[in-house]
Amino acid sequence: MTSRRKLLMVAAVVAVALSLASVADAKGFRRYLRLRQDVEALDERNRALAAQNDALRKEIAALRQDPATLEQSVREELGYVKPGEIVFHLESP
């Protein structure tokens, strides 16, 4: 074997050994994969929260601009009724 080929073999063995050590070590590649999954989960949560924020902004705008939406919300959430209305509470067992 030529010295260049020997050097290439040694470099390949060292690279494989380092790769195996990185995979086996808890602070190596496994940690990287776990952190990457955590980042993906946080990104998904951020997207969900951004969508929820957009929906809440739209609801706020509707409540500020549309009296019918405000009335519906007050009736549903606070149980308000207009004078003269009769409310029936139906409950199932």
Cα–Cα dist 59/57, whole Å:
5
- Which of these, 21, 22, 19, 20, lies nearest to 32 by C-alpha position? 22
Question: Residue 71: inside a domain, yes or no?
Answer: yes
Domain with 35, as residue range(s), is: 1-78
Question: Residue 92: inside a domain, yes or no?
Answer: no
Q: Whole-structure pTM over 0.85, yes or no?
A: no
Question: Residue 61: inside a domain, yes or no?
Answer: yes
User: Domain count of the chain?
Assistant: 1
DSSP assignment of 44-76 equals HHHHHHHHHHHHHHHHHHHHHH-HHHHHHHHHH
| Tally of helices (H runs) and strands (E runs) in the chain | 3, 0
Q: What is the pLDDT of residues 67-85, one digit of tens each?
A: 999 989 988 888 888 889 8
Q: What is the pLDDT of residues 36-65, one digit of tens each?
A: 999 999 999 999 999 999 999 999 999 999
Cα–Cα dist 56/73, whole Å:
13
Q: In degrees rounded to 5, what are phi and psi of residue 89? A: -100, 115
